[in-house]
Amino acid sequence: KAGVTQTPRYLIKTRGQQVTLSCSPISGHRSVSWYQQTPGQGLQFLFEYFSETQRNKGNFPGRFSGRQFSNSRSEMNVSTLELGDSALYLCASRPDIGTEAFFGQGTRLTVV
Amino acid sequence: GEDVEQSLFLSVREGDSSVINCTYTDSSSTYLYWYKQEPGAGLQLLTYIFSNMDMKQDQRLTVLLNKKDKHLSLRIADTQTGDSAIYFCAVMDTGRRALTFGSGTRLQVQP
C-alpha cells in the first residue's frame, strides 16, 4: 500500500511569510504526527492529530499550527517565518491500534 | 522529560557486525524504536521492541533491551555498504503518543 506522502518536498520562503505543508497518511491511519528536524536540535515533536482533533502538542510557539481533515490528511502551518524555522519537517502516520509510526520523506523548508 | 542518548559515529568494515547503542531516562517508556535515515530521505522504521521483551530478532537485525540499565542496542549482522546511514533510537511517551529521539548515530561502512 502507498506510504506517507508529504508535499511539497522542498520550499524556499522569505522571513515573515507563512507556509503550509501537507501530509497524506497511509490509508486507514487516523493519527498524524509532525516532527521538526534540525542539525542543532535534532528531531522534535510538534503535534499529533487524531480524527480531526489535536491530541498532543510539543513545545513550539503558537506560530506553528496544524489541522486534520475528515480524510485524515493533515496540514501544518507556520506563520511569520523566522530563519530558525529552516528544517526538515516530517510527518508520521500511525494505525489506530498499533505502535508503528511510519514517516514520510519530509518537506525541506528553507527560510531566507 | 525523557532524554535519549546515542554515540555520534560508528565505523565498521563490510561483513562485520555493527552495534549501535542507546540509553534513555524514562523507565515508563513502553515502546522503543530504531529508525534509519539516508541522506535527503525521511525516517525508515527498522524495528521496535516492547518494554516487556529482552530481545527481538528480525533477519540481520537484533535488538537488545536492558530495562534495568535503560539501555537499548541494535546489532546489524554482516553489515553492508548499503547500511551506511544515520540510525536513530526513539522511545514512546505513551501518554503523549510522541516519540523522543536520540541525536542519531552515523554508521560508516568501509568496503
Q: What is the pLDDT of residue A97?
A: 66
pLDDT of residue A52: 94
More confidently predicted of A94 and B97 = A94
Average pLDDT, chain B: 93
| Confidence band, pLDDT 50/70/90 cuts, at residue B40 | confident
Chain A residue nearest residue B91, CA to CA? A99
| Closest Cα in chain A, distance from residue B90 (Å) | 10
CA distance B2 to chain A (A): 12
pLDDT of residue A1: 63
pLDDT, position B29: 74
Question: Which of A103, A105, A107, A108 to mutate: most B Cβ within 10 Å?
Answer: A103
What burial class does residue A108 get, using C-beta atoms within 10 Å of its C-beta: 0-12 exposed, 13-18 middle, 19+ buried? Answer: middle
- Which pLDDT belongs to residue A10? 97
Average pLDDT over residues B74-102: 92
Q: Are A28 and A95 in contact (CB under 8 A)?
A: yes
Mean pLDDT, range B22-36, rounded to an integer:
89
CB distance B86 to B36 below 8 Å:
yes
- Rounded Cα distance between A88 and B83, Å, is 22
| pLDDT tens for each residue of A37-64 | 999 999 999 999 999 999 999 999 999 9
- Chain A residues lying within 8 Å of B44, measured CB to CB: 103
A41: nearest CA in chain B?
Answer: B103
- Judged against a pLDDT cut of 90, whether residue A98 lies above it is answered with no
Is residue A40 less than 8 Å (CB to CB) from chain B?
Answer: no
Percentages helix, strand, coil for chain A (3-state, rounded to 5) are 5, 55, 45
Span A7-26, pLDDT tens digits:
999 999 999 999 999 999 99
State whether B97 and A31 contact (CB < 8 Å).
Answer: yes
List of residues 6+ apart from B39 with CB closer than 8 A: none
Quick check: B100 and A45 CB within 8 A? Answer: yes
Give the minimum alpha-carbon distance from B43 to chain A in angstroms, rounded to a whole number: 6
Mutation site for B-interface testing, chosen from A23, A89, A99, A102 by largest number of B Cβ within 10 Å: A99
Across the interface, whether the CB atoms of A105 and B97 are under 8 A apart is answered: no
Q: How far apart are CA A112 and CA A71, in angstroms?
A: 33
From CA A2, how far away is CA A99, in angstroms rounded? 18
